[in-house]
Structure 1
Amino acid sequence: IDEITFTILKKKNLNLQSVLKDGEVLYIKEIANVSAGATPYDATDDIHPHNRFLAERIARIAGLDICGIDFISSDMAVPFNENNTVVLEVNASPGIKMHMMPAEGKARNVVGAIMDMMYPQGAPSRIPIAAVTGTNGKTTVTRLMAHLVKTSGQTVGFTTTEGVYINDVIITKGDCSGPGSSLLVLKDPTVEYAILECARGGILRSGLAFDSCDFGVVTNISEDHLGLDDIENLEDLANVKAVVPKTVSTNGYAILNADDDLVFEMAKDLTCKVALFSMDPFSERIEYNISKGGIAAVVEDEHIFVYNGDIKMEFEDLENIPITFGGKADFMVQNCLPVVLFGYLSGIDNDIIKEALHTFNSSPEKTPGRMNFFKFNDFEVLADYAHNPAGMEAIGKFVKNYDAKWKVGIIAAPGDRSESQIIGIGETAAKYFDELILRSDKDLRGRKESEIHGLLLEGIHKVDPDIKVKVVSRESESIKYAVKGAQKGSLITVFTESVNDCIRTIRHLQEREVVGEHEV
């Protein structure tokens, strides 16, 4: 008895002491369910098959895997179309306690049935995970792998140093290459495949967000962040990166760079399967691997090939892969190899792999800060996030062979790198550019600006004492300075710290000339 009962009695001019007339019926509740005091009893075995069919059909029409359907019926043992049974409501969040503990009848393990439906015995209980690490190229490889998965029709969640994405929609901006960002993807119920960039810093601070993965890609190991967090040499750095392939499940694949000694050596300690990639089609490591029935990807005669034992499959001409710039950007060609292996080993149709390679380019939208070209009236600007000697060397080799009359480089060096690394950045830049502009990062990381520039100049003048050098500290101002003084037919290469700010500055300068973005 509650307020509802008293309200009903009052409307009928009755009270708790009233006596009803013979045959009179009084409903003392407005609803009939367990929460209002009804008595639940199990009628599972009494339900007519036609009524069961109706309930299942209603659930499917409503698009619900689990639901509660309220029927009003004089007898559920009779077909619904024979006794005017009606459906009162469909509840997407039904109560299940009454089924497990009815007042009368047999208890039913509804929770167990639901779990069996959601997680069938023997079926995968987790989404596939591919993890990518290395010194250079890991963001591009991550993005291209994600593009391939999306092209295959699956919803992909991926993390990079620019943010967390579900398909191509950015969820969180910033450096998201750590385990916290990975968890954001792994916990998203819409994600069907996770591609996770795993950087050195996140691994050292918090490890990985997963206990095992299906694929572990290692791009390369080169000088970067040495002298930080007890990482004193390349071997130390390789040991950190090796955590990723070591987490690959027994039936999964570590995809390793056979051209990199430290990466190749990782294969010795693995319990998973190993696939290799190489820019050298005659690599002894590749030949030995495929002679044992292994799988590998190589570049030969400007084409990408995949070997599965003694079976050789041609995948694509580099001329048809925009991100390789017709095969002229060796490091981008190398980035494609583990992606092709990943697609092949995942069972993705070869035509879909080719389509993904054809439709992925180096635009600021697809790969921000990775080989982004911008066209001006009389010159071009290239923006790239390369920030260590190996990265700059790769860009430098591309620039050296690029058709431009005068080549300008805008460079900087992180202050927390060793003196030899900063000097090395200066040496590398001087090899490939006719003119250099020195800028500064916003965060000098423990060094004075003058000290960083002094070390860069030391390296520059070792290679070319007479090269033209200008100091313009702020990145945006250095870009404006270079554009203002650009010679006809020149190429300005910006090694950027802040990718979004850099792109914004260049596009603003473009708008002043009313010129569209250049697609290479």
Structure 2
Amino acid sequence: MKIIDLRTMRGPSYWSVKHLKLIVMKVDLEDLAGKWSNAIPGLASRLTKLLPGVGQPCPTPDSSKQKLKYPPLTLEQLTDGEPMCHVIQHVALELQRLAGMPVYWGKSYPSAHEEGVEFVVFSYQEERAGRVAARAAVEIVDALCQKQKVDIKPIITELHNIREEEFFGPSTYSIVAEAVSRNIPYIRLKNTSVIQLGYGVNQKRIQATTSTNTAFFAVDIAGNKNRTKAMLADAGIPVPRGTTVYSIEELRTAIEELGFPIVTKPLDGNHGKGASINITDWKTAQTGFKEAQVYSRAVIVEQFIEGFDHRLLVVNGQLVAAAKRKPASVLGDGKSTIQELIDQVNQDPRRGEGHEKVLTKITADKHTMAILEARDLTLKSVLPEGEELFLKSTANISTGGTATDVTDLVHPYNVLLAERAAGIIGLDICGIDLLTSDIAIPLNESRGAVIEVNAAPGFRMHISPAEGLPRNVAAPVVDMLFPRGTPSRIPIMAVTGTNGKTTTTRMLAHMVAAQGYKVGFTTTDGIYIQGNQLEQGDCTGGKAQSLYCVTPR
């Protein structure tokens, strides 16, 4: 078999109006033309053994019809006989699903005019991954038909890497999904992680959870923990005492002044990288200092505040969610080793690699090994039944931590404190980390403290907490960018036909411009905005239709 043509559909197409992201592959079956799966001895068993998920149903049944929305390709069907391109379609979908991209829709059609040629159409989540899956599916099915061994691990790894590189993170995805639900269009700007919401003068842009409303100076302040702490302290917000050190000698002096326990963290760090908490001895303090200097020459040394880690999310000056965070941990059962307990925790279907799922798998990195060594433990040690072991010193979700929603428990004083902190730093989307024994008690009474203010805070702990109510924190972000009633689009017209498209486009542009609007259009002559030619050449056809757009006067 060989691929004759491979195309990517983006939006409604001849193949489907409902499914907007499609790979359309034209396959020449060659020697397998006219043969179905039952004509190849052992193909059914080899395929289902290699890809067991091919025969597993989509997890979302269509309850109205009491049947599966996307029927699987079962061993029984393969044994009875299925068209070869139908098999290719299911393999391409399953490869993507194994790489963390849940896609299910597909079709296969014989070519009306070419003998032995068929079309395979299937959904993709990431364009590049869909094209890789298409080629791999043809190669896999062809190899299985010839009884050759197939190793799918490199393919899945490549697809997973593509997903991690190109798919929206959970925070970005939540904002995009909320925008789409309000009929606000979006595009990803080429070769960037910047997402444009809306068109023309009505467009807004986001990058992760920073927006066009996010002030650069506010991000700069939040990135400098010393400056942040000083500004908060001046405004009467409780923060831990501390200082910045650059050497082991300065570290010793700082500890003599502050006393144990302490915290060390890089001055310009984020996501908990290089941070060590509850340090109670000189040896551990030196280790924490060195780990922090991996990320910043300047290291913050401050008092360790007793209490639980909380993240309060403020959007557009209002508290929208709060979560109690817990570092990655395992619970002893008296018989399993620490590594076995980690493996058991990682079997939770909610855990995945990176940001592909709501929780991240726990890994025993250098930081974990240092924690174990400090307690005279190894990965082969057996924890007593009921003993909980924290494997990280910070409660970040990206290192395997979990979160419990506590939005409804936050004391009004703490709500005001969080909103003030965001306003002092100047962030429109702000994550405030604080330590307190009880978020329902005013921070000044619980002897808690604000330990950090974050620009571009992650939303994952709020939209998919391990426990508690999920919070739609993307909604207030879209409300901020596009207040109700605010337009997100501009009028766009497409001109098509055989002759006279350019003349018609110019005439329409002239009519609209005469009404005082700013007009841009493309023709066979080039691209024009407000009557000025920006680019010369034929800018019509599939990639740049003969169209024009208008923006308000």
Same fold (TM over 0.5): no
Tell me which structure has the larger Cα radius of gyration. Answer: 1
For CA contacts below 8 A with separation 6 or more, give which structure has more relative contact order: 2
Shorter-chain TM-score bucket reads: under 0.3
Scaled by the length of structure 1, the TM-score of the pair is 0.26
